A = this chain, B = another copy of it.
Amino acid sequence: MANWILLLVALASLNLSLCKREPEYFSPRSCKELMERYKTEEDGLYYLTSPTGVVYQTYCDMTTAGGGWTLVASVHENNLYGKCTTGDRWSSQQRGSPNVPDGDGSWSNTVTFGNAEAATSDDFKNPGYYDITAENVAVWHVPNNERVGRWKLTSFLRYHTESKFLRSYGGNLYNLFKIFPVKYNAGSCPANHGPSVPVVYDVGDASFNHKLFGPHVRGETEPGFITFRAINNERAAMAICLGVKPKGCNTEHSCIGGGGHFPEASPRQCGDFASFDWDGYGTNAGWSASKQVTGAAVLLFYR
């Protein structure tokens, strides 16, 4: 019983010198608040506190385009050969089936998983995803299994929105996906795509972004955007199209996350990275994405 007292001592140790100060310190809710109120300028892991009191650790990007970006989630493909199996938390771990049209439902529920340090080795979602009120989104593509200190260095593609589009959709992706459910049969293509928002590139550019996808995909997409809730020919729903706006309806080759059912050749297109391997894993031919983007985690930030 006396064992855990040391934690308290540890946690308390830093405020010994504060005993005489004013009670001016509060735990920040986002990296933006951390930057603005505490003048924190260094990228790295910090603790935040949600309005409901959950204390959690996440990564802050304090330098890109003015800084203040909070990592709220990562989408990691643990096994592209496993079709909606264990580890596919952003689509479904229940195999593809029309009986579970929204799959695991992670895009619009409060379930959290993973931890910040392992965000490139496993799916990650923290309370910031549904509790922070933000205006813009940033995306980093970081090779799987990179350690935190090397994320910025090794990311080969990074982009962010500047239009403050989240203001129109409830302030975060949790609310946006309440409006545009990531659910099989929730709409048709192209009528029911969610918003496509222009992006600014911080690493890479639109042309490089486009080449990460197969030639057939390039013919059906326009780079320089991020798209939320795409629908494909068979009425499957996906969450995020990576740096592109769909022009056609084979969205499963450039969009990630998804509901619980992908009818075409079911369950072959079901999974966190949907059908990035339709013409072979990492071949970058036909409808297949490159090895680079397929073997990288997608980190999602709010500001």
Tell me the residues in window 102-123 of chain A with beta carbons closer than 8 Å to chain B beta carbons: 104-105, 109-112, 114-115, 117-118, 121-122
Besides A15-B15, A15-B16, A109-B145, 6 more A-B contacts (Cβ < 8 Å) are A1-B53, A3-B52, A4-B46, A8-B13, A10-B25, A11-B27
Contact of A27 among B2, B7, B86 (CB under 8 A): B7
Tell me the residues in window 156-199 of chain A with beta carbons closer than 8 Å to chain B beta carbons: none
Of A76-84, A212-220, A241-249, the one touching chain B:
A76-84
* A203 at interface, CB cutoff 8 A: no
Contact of A94 among B2, B82, B118 (CB under 8 A): B82
A76 to chain B, nearest CB (A): 10
| Contacting residues, chain B, for A1 (C-beta < 8 A) | 51-53
Q: How large is the interface on A (under 10, 10 to 19, 20 to 34, 35 or more residues)?
A: 35 or more
In Å, the complex CA distance between A109 and B87 comes to: 15
Contact of A81 among B12, B86, B97 (CB under 8 A): B97
A36 to chain B, nearest CB (A): 14
| Contacting residues, chain B, for A114 (C-beta < 8 A) | 111
- What residues make up the interface of A, taking CB atoms closer than 8 Å to B? 1-19, 21-28, 34, 38, 40, 42, 44-47, 49, 51-55, 57, 78-79, 81-82, 85-87, 93-94, 97, 99-100, 104-105, 109-112, 114-115, 117-118, 121-122, 127, 145, 147-148
In Å, the complex CA distance between A100 and B295 comes to: 13
Copy tally for this chain in the complex stands at 3
Contact of A14 with B22 at beta-carbon distance under 8 Å, contacts A3-B44, A45-B4, A94-B82 already known: no
| Contacting residues, chain B, for A26 (C-beta < 8 A) | 10, 13
Contact of A4 among B47, B78, B112 (CB under 8 A): B47
Q: Are B117 and A55 in contact (CB under 8 A)?
A: no
Q: Are A79 and B100 in contact (CB under 8 A)?
A: yes
| Contacting residues, chain B, for A4 (C-beta < 8 A) | 45-47, 49, 52-54, 57
A33 to chain B, nearest CB (A): 11
| Contacting residues, chain B, for A21 (C-beta < 8 A) | 16
Contact of A47 with B10 at beta-carbon distance under 8 Å, contacts A16-B23, A18-B16 already known: yes
